[in-house]
Structure 1
Amino acid sequence: MDYVAIVGGLLLAWTLLQCIRWLAISNRCNRKLPPGPVPLPLIGNLHNILLGSQPHQSIAKLADKYGPIISLRFGRITTVVTSSSAVAKEVLQKKDLAFSSRTIPDAIYALNHCQFSVVWLPVANRWRSLRKILNSNIFSGSRLDAKQHLRSRKIQDLIAYCDRCSQTGEAVNIGQATFETSMNLLSNTIFSKDVVDPYANSGKEFKDVGKLLQQIEGLIHERFEQRRGFATSSSTDVLDVLLNISNEDPQPIDRNHIERLCLDLFVAGTDATSNTLEWAMVEVMRKPYIMRKAKAELAEVIGKGKAIEEADVACLPYLQCIVKETLRVHPPVPFLIRKVDQDVEACGYFVPKDSLVLVYVWSIGRDPAIWEDPLTFKPERFWGSKMDVRGQDFELIPFGASRRICPGLPLATRTVSVMLGSLLNSFDWKAEGDIALEDLDVEEKFGITLARLRPLRVVPVPL
């Protein structure tokens, strides 16, 4: 009995201390935290978001109740969620530097990735050097144009695979096929070679980041051996460009940074691209009128069944509208993750040091205050609109904004548009098992990226 009393007393004392600490944080500098549900001892507000299978939707309901900027407690961590374009603009533009750090997941520490990755490094000299290298040597318009033929070849490989399936009536797993296309597209750009057997489902193992890093390390070691005795190379693939830069001055980028930069490119450029393609295909198939309009535009501008080049996208405004609408309803990531390294104020509220800050891209894209009929997939809403995804319009920020905007945005928009246009222009499509198109579901699987709960399996039909 005494033991129970002692344990109970210790729990009560600990709870009181946590309450005092919470009050101290809330009242620091006589400022108040954003509104939100009352946290419970130990777990904070975890019970508020984990009751269902879709935590991001649970947070959306809390934002509807408490407002566009709310505070939650996840264990001992103060978390601030912003879910309106106006608050996102203040956080990502007006006070960008204060909100430019990132909370680093434990898995990133396990690979020691945070010490070398441009994704996780703080905004400082090393980060600026790596971003400059990315923008100038990989994602500039001239560099992307120079590698367009490689991307076109990989996309035509995808179309050839779908053509074989159309002859046999075999269904295509759109997510898997476009994942492997994206993987080989990137590997050709970086290493001038494929890293997976096309469309053989072998790419699944490369979703294991540890195995992917080992593969990258092996390819870089192979290139080092090939270059032994040569300071530079005339090759134009990304790896040789990075090695040339490192040989001239290893201070901005060394071998560790090259390995992790390549890993970042693969991780960011595969799942996000394949998920977006999968969402675009299912949304277009669910609305036959959209499919007809897209096909009519492609037939008029390109020619029915003909290959699409990246330069053609500028002449395909309805295709561009479909891509924008897909990114509005189904952004690659539901949240942009930030952390504050010091006390800061946002929209009149106090955000304490070390708070996790989530910019809720998914909710902003479905905000009825911004979008008419926001849950309806309607590409026409972008017809004639100058709104873009490049970080200037905070109503539509699937790639982020300001200094932490995704550097791969120029490649991603090219790849998604050409892949989608090629799939639509080369085949008609029906759902596996003769499911009615309007019955295709749009259920989400929550994670770092927002994928479909069930893979989209569809049968290509020859034109």
Structure 2
Amino acid sequence: MLPDYLNILFSVILLLLTLFISTLFFKSFRKQSTKFRPPPSPPSLPIIGHLHLLTGSVMPKSFQTLAALYGPLIQLHLGASTCVVVSNAQVAKEVLKTHELNFSNRPQFGSSNYFLYKGSYFITAPYGPHWRFMRKICMTKLLSTSQLNKFTHVREQEITKLLEFLIMCGNEGKDSDLSMELTTLTNNILCRMAMSSSRMGHAANDAKEIHHLIKEFFDVGAKLSVGEILGPLGKFDLFGYGKKLTKIVGNFDQIVERIMKELEEKMDVLNDHKDCEIEGGDMMDILLQVYKDANAEVRLTRNDIKAFFLDIFLAGTDTIAVALQWAMVEIINHPKVFNEIRAEIDSVVGLCKLVKESDVQNLTYLQAVVKEVLRLHPTAPFVLRQSAEDCKINGYDIKGEARTLVNVYAIMRDPESWVKPEEFIPERFLINPDGINGQENLMENKGQDFMYLPFGNGRRGCPGASLALSVLHVTIGALIQCFDWKVKDGDKVDINEGFSAGLAKPLVCYPVIHCNPFK
């Protein structure tokens, strides 16, 4: 046996060793418990990250699939770019409401480095005095209810032009590319509401040129944004898309600058005749008056005004047109819905009396159809946000300046929130749906339930939602009221989606005249 002192020494050493190991364990545990905990992320590949999971797919649908596997909050590495993706209503509410102020900024992308109006944009402007001032002007003047009502005749005139063209096609038995015609419609409406194109001799040419430039902008901007995955290499403009984008914006600048000067000259003449008033009162009139107001809360520059109009055309033209295309696709492919819309219009408006915006409030089924179209095919599949500071979302740590994509496409197709989410069922938005769970009935487009977010939510929600809905309701109503539609190739329209959830192919149909409201 060991002497007593050796036993005591051994016991002391064992106790000290135990204490040492325990201290290390608790320190390690505490360090682990306070360690930064990012959202879950799928297995990635070197350099490209998770890009291989998106190739050849519809992007929002790809993110939806990943969310089903890894949870409603995931982190993705797309080359050198990292983003956080939100895919259900509960987490969306945390981002857009609970932490709304922290997520009040929108992320900047590589293409912004080549914008002529850098620092002057409204949609992507940092949350601050300039953005708040522009938002205030939008909601109280530029896109207010009274301002929209002032230009009801513009929307009616442009819809009439579309119908007259389609009637001509119907009489001649020709097909029509509705994708192109509906984009032209929305572009013309925006041009006339934005810059009083009706009072300019070369208005039609301006509208066409702006339409062409916006189309080019989307094409080149999308290619340039791929530079995000290259990280620092993207700044070298290896493929020349940056120069092309700069040229496109420069051409847009020349058009808008000329229009601004023409209007300023007219304003100066009218100011010399105090008994005269400026006609039109469009967005350009309003912004130039603010520009010349020395006492304005925030002084606008000419670039601020031109950047605002570029934002308007980029945000409005394609989004409204794509929503109109999807509406026609779903309605044509669902004859029962088509017949229900027409029967309601005939009952409320009358036979061959053209539907107007004032009729929409009484066309409840048409409203339900538009809501269902926007649920399945939101005007923008993602709500883009960027965190200002570190925060916790759904139990995970989100770093400051993290690009955050709220996948509204996935949220509005979530089986936990919606009955038969992949099916087109307008009745879900009626007061007494037949056989459908009534949870969705009373929802409005305000996004308070965070399961229906077609126009985003909160202070950075889409300020043009009312304009979009005005155009959607009356255009769809008129196209169903006046025509039957035959699909060019087959009985049903191809519903395949493109990479960003738009139509994969142009919508080409034969308009068959049902009634001519102009006779």
Category of TM-score, reference length = shorter chain: 0.7 to 0.9
1:230 Cα offset (Å): 5.7
Name 2:400's counterpart in structure 1: 353
The equivalences for 1:357-436 within 5 A come to 357-384=404-431, 385-433=441-489, 435-436=490-491
Distance 1:287 1:393 in 2: 28
**Against the structure 1 CA distance between its residues 187 and 100, is the aligned structure 2 distance closer, same or farther, given a 3 Å change threshold?**
same
1:148 Cα offset (Å): 1.0
**Against the structure 1 CA distance between its residues 214 and 374, is the aligned structure 2 distance closer, same or farther, given a 3 Å change threshold?**
farther
1:79 Cα offset (Å): 1.5
The equivalences for 1:72-151 within 5 A come to 72-151=76-155
1:245 aligned to 279, 284, 290, which one? Answer: 290
Name 2:262's counterpart in structure 1: 222
* Contact 1:130 1:252 survives alignment (8 Å): no
1:61 Cα offset (Å): 1.2
Amino acid at match of 1:126: H
1:28 Cα offset (Å): 10
Give the secondary structure class of the aligned counterpart of 1:71. strand
* Contact 2:197 2:204 survives alignment (8 Å): no
* Contact 1:90 1:346 survives alignment (8 Å): yes
The equivalences for 1:54-73 within 5 A come to 54-73=58-77
Q: Say if 2:504 is the partner of 1:441.
A: no
Amino acid at match of 1:297: E
Distance 2:404 2:94 in 1: 13
1:32 Cα offset (Å): 0.9
Q: Which moved more, 1:362-371 or 1:213-222?
A: 213-222
Name 1:460's counterpart in structure 2: 511
1:114 Cα offset (Å): 4.2
1:105 Cα offset (Å): 1.7
The equivalences for 1:248-327 within 5 A come to 248-249=293-294, 251-327=298-374
1:201 Cα offset (Å): 11
Distance 1:325 1:27 in 2: 46
**Against the structure 1 CA distance between its residues 323 and 214, is the aligned structure 2 distance closer, same or farther, given a 3 Å change threshold?**
farther
Q: Say if 2:50 is the partner of 1:38.
A: no
* Contact 2:267 2:278 survives alignment (8 Å): no
* Contact 1:114 1:120 survives alignment (8 Å): no
1:229 Cα offset (Å): 5.9
1:331 Cα offset (Å): 0.7
* Contact 2:155 2:189 survives alignment (8 Å): yes
Distance 2:254 2:316 in 1: 18
Name 1:207's counterpart in structure 2: 215
The structure having more radius of gyration, on CA atoms, is 2
1:456 Cα offset (Å): 0.4
1:109 Cα offset (Å): 2.3
Distance 2:212 2:327 in 1: 21
**Against the structure 1 CA distance between its residues 101 and 202, is the aligned structure 2 distance closer, same or farther, given a 3 Å change threshold?**
closer
Distance 2:39 2:32 in 1: 12
* Contact 2:191 2:207 survives alignment (8 Å): no
* Contact 1:196 1:202 survives alignment (8 Å): no
1:289 Cα offset (Å): 0.5
* Contact 1:335 1:359 survives alignment (8 Å): yes
Q: Which moved more, 1:183-192 or 1:314-323?
A: 183-192
* Contact 2:291 2:301 survives alignment (8 Å): yes
Indicate the percent of aligned positions where both proteins have the same amino acid: 34
Give the secondary structure class of the aligned counterpart of 2:450. coil
Name 2:278's counterpart in structure 1: 234
* Contact 1:368 1:374 survives alignment (8 Å): yes
1:197 Cα offset (Å): 6.1
Amino acid at match of 1:36: S
Give the secondary structure class of the aligned counterpart of 2:197. coil
1:168 Cα offset (Å): 0.8
Distance 1:259 1:32 in 2: 43
Deviations 1:71-126 (A, max 9, x none): 11223443211100111111001111111111112222211444111101111001
Distance 1:287 1:382 in 2: 17
* Contact 2:352 2:481 survives alignment (8 Å): yes
Give the secondary structure class of the aligned counterpart of 2:384. strand
Distance 2:105 2:32 in 1: 24
* Contact 2:214 2:313 survives alignment (8 Å): no
Distance 2:270 2:208 in 1: 37
1:39 Cα offset (Å): 3.0
**Against the structure 1 CA distance between its residues 456 and 93, is the aligned structure 2 distance closer, same or farther, given a 3 Å change threshold?**
same
Distance 1:359 1:227 in 2: 44
* Contact 1:216 1:263 survives alignment (8 Å): no
Distance 1:337 1:216 in 2: 28
Deviations 1:274-297 (A, max 9, x none): 100000001000011110101100
Q: RMSD of aligned C-alpha atoms?
A: 2.3
Distance 1:101 1:302 in 2: 44
Deviations 1:340-375 (A, max 9, x none): 122111111101122211100110111111111111
Name 1:168's counterpart in structure 2: 172
* Contact 1:102 1:338 survives alignment (8 Å): yes
Distance 1:201 1:234 in 2: 26
Distance 2:163 2:52 in 1: 46
* Contact 1:165 1:171 survives alignment (8 Å): yes
